[in-house]
Amino acid sequence: MATVSIPLLFQELTDGRRQVEVGGATVADVIAALDALYPGIATRLRDGDRLAPIVTVTVDGKIAAEGLATPVGPNSEVCMLPAFGGG
């Protein structure tokens, strides 16, 4: 199962858990598995058929360039990071 790091921004949805282990072959699958455990988290992480603009996802240290379709391995580390704007 993939280990998912949950940012403080979303920990109120995960009962304060900072890491969760879930299965899934893609980022979309991982988010669906998270939502099954913690209903409502998918609405914060997704914007329709794409990642929400407030989150950046990395898989094994690399930005999820394929968005929700980005592959996730059985031992991957997935990080949900709050997106930062700059100026």
**What are the average pLDDT values for consecutive 10-residue runs of the chain, which has 87 residues?**
93 94 98 96 94 94 96 97 71
Residue 26 in 3-state DSSP? strand
Which sequence spans correspond to the domains of the chain?
2-82
pLDDT of residue 86: 58
Backbone angles phi, psi at 42, to 5 degrees: -65, -35
pLDDT of residue 36: 97
Is the pTM for the entire model greater than 0.75?
Answer: yes
pLDDT of residue 9: 85
Q: With 0-12 CB in 10 A as exposed, 13-18 as middle and 19+ as buried, what is 6?
A: buried
- Which residues on neighbouring strands pair with residue 51, listed in sequence order? 46
Residue 60: count other Cβ atoms within 10 Å of its Cβ.
14
pLDDT of residue 42: 96
pLDDT of residue 87: 55
The H-or-E segment that residue 81 falls in is strand 77-82
pLDDT of residue 83: 76
CATH superfamily of 2-82: Beta-grasp domain (3.10.20.30)
